[in-house]
């Protein structure tokens, strides 16, 4: 019964703090909006599936050096779904057209391209990018595929002889020339809004540790801990009651971020709401237990808050929460952060990944929680909670 009383009054006190309400509910929404809007251009687009054909300036030399292969390639029907080839006489004309927006992309075919390829040389083209990223991506992918195919055939013939060409020709099928989206996830992709909604959710759940610190130290600062310790209340009841109060506030914060970001910005959180909440719950437990350890061993609230702030920001950055990190040692360290495992899992859920892809993340965050919980229990047993 004491646990219930302490929990309800903890909730009452927390919800009366305006600064806490602003930090917990308003700030995440503002950040999701700002980051999502500034980094994706449009908030709430779930996936881009349509490709507009790109006007491509093709500079194919005249005379003997002209490439018949390129001329034939750009006339293929599946390629013309992606690009609208425009024969251009010179590089200058192509560059001029790119500047004025007449063309979205340009390809410079080297003199004697076909001859070079037939002699076993590497197929190479020069590309000049236009102003639009998607156009560059679509046209570039089409020509990259062409070069890859040519070079692949060159390598096959060189290694296996002319019969390799026949086998390759029978096995090849007509595929869509360019497909937009993450082809590893059934064509689904995630937007900047989705990514930063997930990242901010986790960062603020990690910040819920700060609420733990404030809650634990406020009893000391108010000297109410001294009074409660003189009452017929077990120390464990007080501690559990307070942590339940903070935990409930964090769960409410988590639900608010998910629902409000969905409602206001159209952020799609995936097809597994139950699993999403389970991951968030584990994240809250990990963050709270981390803060319990820090708070119990810190002498002042200020030092505990500083440690938790630094840990939160570092973990968010290293886990790739501020911006997806390239493959490097930083990315490797990210695997040692709490956010990493939950962020990856949430992104995968947004992409409708199979349960088998989520299981390692669930296992990992569960292990982290278990270790942190043991750490928190040990800290409480060692240090206790008193003035």
Residues that bind another protein (CB under 8 A): 1-2, 5-6, 9, 12-13, 16-17, 222-224, 226-234, 386
Nearer to another protein, 215 or 379 (CB): 215
Residue 41 CB, nearest approach to another protein (Å): 43
Nearer to another protein, 124 or 222 (CB): 222
Would you tell me how many other CB atoms lie within 10 Å of the CB of residue 254? 24
Residue 88 to residue 94: CA distance in whole angstroms: 6
Residue pair 287/341 in contact (Cβ under 8 Å)? The answer is: no
The dihedral through the CA atoms of 220, 223, 227, 228 has a sign that is: negative
Residue 234 CB, nearest approach to another protein (Å): 7
Residue 220 CB, nearest approach to another protein (Å): 11
Residue 40 CB, nearest approach to another protein (Å): 40
Residue 222 CB, nearest approach to another protein (Å): 6
Nearer to another protein, 169 or 231 (CB): 231
Nearer to another protein, 10 or 135 (CB): 10
Residue 111 to residue 125: CA distance in whole angstroms: 10
What φ, ψ does residue 87 adopt, rounded to 5°?
Answer: -70, 125
Residue 148 to residue 298: CA distance in whole angstroms: 59
Residue 211 CB, nearest approach to another protein (Å): 15
Residue 237 to residue 4: CA distance in whole angstroms: 9
Query: Residue 127: which residues within 8 A CB-CB, separation 6 or more?
Result: 105, 106, 107, 108, 140, 143
Nearer to another protein, 3 or 342 (CB): 3
Helix (H) or strand (E) holding 107: strand 105-108
Residue 225 to residue 385: CA distance in whole angstroms: 8
Nearer to another protein, 59 or 246 (CB): 246
């Amino acid at each position: 019964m004491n646990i219930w009383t302490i929990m309800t009054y903890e909730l009452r006190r927390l919800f009366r703090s305006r600064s806490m309400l602003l930090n917990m509910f308003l700030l995440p929404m503002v950040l999701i909006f700002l980051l999502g809007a500034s980094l994706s251009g449009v908030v709430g687009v779930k996936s881009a599936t349509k490709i507009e054909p790109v006007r491509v300036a093709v500079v194919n030399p005249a005379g003997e050096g002209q490439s018949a292969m390129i001329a034939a390639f750009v006339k293929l029907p599946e390629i013309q779904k992606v690009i609208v080839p425009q024969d251009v006489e010179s590089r200058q004309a192509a560059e001029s057209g790119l500047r004025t927006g007449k063309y979205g992309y340009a390809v410079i075919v080297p003199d004697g391209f076909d001859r070079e390829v037939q002699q076993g040389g590497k197929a190479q083209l020069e590309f000049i990018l236009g102003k639009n990223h998607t156009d560059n991506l679509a046209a570039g992918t089409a020509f990259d595929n062409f070069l890859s195919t040519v070079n692949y055939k060159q390598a096959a013939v060189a290694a296996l002889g002319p019969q390799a060409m026949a086998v390759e020709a029978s096995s090849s099928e007509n595929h869509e020339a360019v497909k937009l989206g993450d082809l590893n996830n059934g064509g689904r992709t995630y937007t900047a809004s989705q990514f930063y909604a997930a990242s901010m959710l986790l960062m603020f759940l990690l910040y819920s540790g700060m609420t733990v610190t404030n809650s634990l130290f406020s009893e000391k600062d108010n000297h109410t801990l001294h009074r409660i310790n003189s009452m017929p209340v077990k120390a464990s009841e007080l501690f559990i009651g307070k942590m339940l109060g903070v935990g409930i506030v964090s769960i409410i914060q988590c639900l608010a971020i998910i629902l409000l970001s969905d409602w206001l910005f159209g952020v799609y959180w995936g097809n597994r709401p139950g699993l999403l909440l389970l991951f968030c719950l584990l994240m809250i437990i990990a963050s709270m237990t981390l803060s319990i350890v820090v708070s119990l061993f810190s002498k002042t609230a200020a030092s505990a808050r500083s440690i938790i702030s630094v840990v939160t920001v570092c973990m968010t950055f290293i886990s790739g929460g501020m911006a997806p990190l390239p493959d490097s040692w930083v990315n490797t360290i990210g695997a040692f952060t709490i956010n990493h495992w939950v962020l990856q899992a949430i992104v995968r859920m947004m992409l409708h990944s199979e349960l088998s892809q989520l299981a390692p993340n669930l296992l990992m965050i569960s292990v982290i929680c278990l270790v942190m919980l043991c750490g928190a229990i040990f800290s409480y047993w060692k240090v206790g909670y008193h003035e």
